[in-house]
């Protein structure tokens, strides 16, 4: 299979760099084709701005959604954005790898999402009617592809557990896993998270990479997170409210949106 | 009082630009001093990288936390970062204003957080013992200051309500409001969110700005979000797990961390 790793860490001699190298080696040894978008090494432009839409008239007011739509539809996107879109379409699975900075992805990767996930490509697609609300949340350009986060965090695992002060890791990652990956159609695998990443020794690294290898072996085998598809009957249209009674009695919070 | 608006939108002739101008005018008319950090206009460097630590030895392996600590402690940060830290220390309240892109802040503002919230300044401060786990979550450099998000979203309000498909807006903003603002000590006000921001007419704009004026009038008066402080007895140390029985019976999810 074909796998794209989108990687965001400024230092190749980091734990993240080592984990990326391990993933490339493990996936290649299993017969997969692997491409790496190394955002820092490639000098990825992080901030979405008017320079992303070179065909817009000079001095025109920038309306981001409309400009993104035109640039994608008319083939006037910048070369780096078009290349990343081709890589995404090529891939059977996409791995986003990053250190958790301030409880989310680094800015450079957020900017990759903002610039590459164009209107008409990753959002703003499909029919809006009384039966559908566009192709999103389980449908869309990436339907049939898998995605997984590989994340390092400085904090303790306990602090990210169900009652941990940081909030459960699944809830912290919901805007990414549900809002960025499931939205344009990816099947999202459970994340691979390394805690206390700044306290790594040879023994832990051995254990962590062994577990990472196991997760990669399951990338096309394990069941993805059971996020509810939007247009399969679980949500009212157009309020997009989860219908009453579908969840286990008493369940609250973001887990409502898993089956 | 002194108010810093950190503003991230690439087009001044946008709804966000109009809301920012309105805030500046309303706050000035009420006798406040206002500063705006206009990240796009100032060409803010979005990605944290080695260039942020010019005193590190050339070719040395970049360890972000350690390099950030040294640069802050030794006064070798870049001028833009030091200026933003001074503005934050000057302010009695900080407003982060941005369009919600892919369910979070734009990359350029995330990079503002990553670069300005240095180790030894906004994190990595305070005593770690069996009574405390550093000065964070309600304590820290910004204790006594208020913070508020002013956000525009393209989607419908219903889609961000309790059972809405996007997830409740409070949960989507938790990594920012709790993880970025409450963490270094801010008292965080309820957010001001404008939905369907691309469907604005004169009547709605009148209503929205009227409500925004009311929220600004309450900035130092209304009660902040009742996030639980870390070191006041609600959490076990060092697991940082919320003690049993503190919440309303049956409550689940991120709301556990509100009193």
Total count of domains within chain B: 1
Half-sphere exposure of A65 (CA within 13 A, CB side): 15
In-domain check, residue B250:
no
Q: Is A208 exposed, middle or buried (0-12, 13-18, 19+ CB in 10 A)?
A: buried
Average pLDDT score over chain A: 97
Over residues B160-179, the pLDDT tens digits come to: 999 999 999 999 999 999 99
Average pLDDT value for residue range B12-18 = 97
Residue A243, pLDDT score: 97
CB B148 within 8 A of CB B215: yes
In this predicted complex, what is the ipTM? Answer: 0.97
Residue span of the structural domain in which B124 resides:
2-224
From B145's Cα to the closest Cα of chain A, the distance in A is 19
In-domain check, residue A245:
no
**Helix residue spans in chain B (DSSP H):** 15-29, 64-74, 79-90, 107-116, 169-176, 202-217
In a mutational test of the B interface, the residue from A52, A104, A107 whose CB has the highest number of chain B CBs within 10 Å is: A107
Residue A131 pLDDT grade (very low, low, confident, very high; cuts 50, 70, 90): confident
In-domain check, residue B248:
no
Average pLDDT value for residue range B96-106 = 98
Over residues A188-212, the pLDDT tens digits come to: 999 999 999 999 999 999 999 999 9
Over residues A214-255, the pLDDT tens digits come to: 999 999 999 999 999 999 999 999 999 999 999 999 999 999
Over residues B139-164, the pLDDT tens digits come to: 999 999 999 999 999 999 999 999 99
User: Which chain B residue lies closest to A108 (C-alpha atoms)?
Assistant: B47
Pick B111's closest partner by Cβ from A63, A107, A159. A107
- Number of Cβ within 10 Å of residue B1's Cβ equals 15
With an 8 Å Cβ cutoff, are B102 and A179 in contact?
yes
- Of B1, B168, B13, nearest to A256 by C-alpha is B168
CATH, residue A48: 3.40.50.360
CB A227 within 8 A of CB A41: no
In-domain check, residue B229:
no
- What is the rounded distance in angstroms from the CA atom of residue B150 to the CA atom of residue B145? 17
- Of A230, A115, A218, nearest to A182 by C-alpha is A230
In-domain check, residue A252:
no
């Amino acid at each position: 299979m074909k796998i794209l790793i989108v990687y965001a860490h400024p230092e190749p001699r980091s734990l993240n760099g080592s984990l990326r190298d391990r993933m490339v080696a493990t996936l290649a040894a299993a017969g997969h084709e692997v491409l790496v978008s190394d955002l820092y090494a490639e000098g990825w432009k992080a901030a979405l701005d008017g320079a992303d839409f070179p065909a817009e008239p000079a001095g025109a007011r920038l309306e981001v959604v409309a400009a993104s739509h035109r640039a994608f539809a008319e083939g006037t996107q910048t070369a780096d954005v078009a290349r990343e879109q081709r890589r995404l379409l090529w891939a059977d699975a996409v791995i986003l790898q990053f250190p958790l900075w301030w409880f989310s992805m680094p800015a450079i990767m957020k900017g990759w999402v903002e610039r590459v996930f164009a209107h008409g490509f990753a959002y703003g697609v499909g029919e809006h009617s009384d039966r559908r609300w566009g192709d999103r949340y389980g449908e869309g350009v990436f339907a049939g592809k898998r995605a997984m986060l590989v994340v390092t965090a400085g904090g303790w695992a306990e602090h990210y557990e169900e009652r941990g002060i940081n909030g459960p890791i699944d809830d912290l990652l919901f805007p990414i896993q549900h809002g960025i990956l499931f939205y344009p159609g990816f099947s999202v695998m459970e994340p691979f998270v390394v805690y206390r990443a700044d306290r790594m020794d040879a023994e832990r690294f051995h254990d962590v990479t062994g577990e990472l290898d196991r997760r990669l072996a399951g990338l096309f085998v394990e069941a993805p997170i059971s996020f509810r598809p939007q247009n399969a009957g679980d949500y009212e249209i157009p309020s997009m409210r989860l219908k009453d009674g579908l969840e286990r009695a008493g369940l609250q919070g973001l887990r409502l949106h898993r089956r």
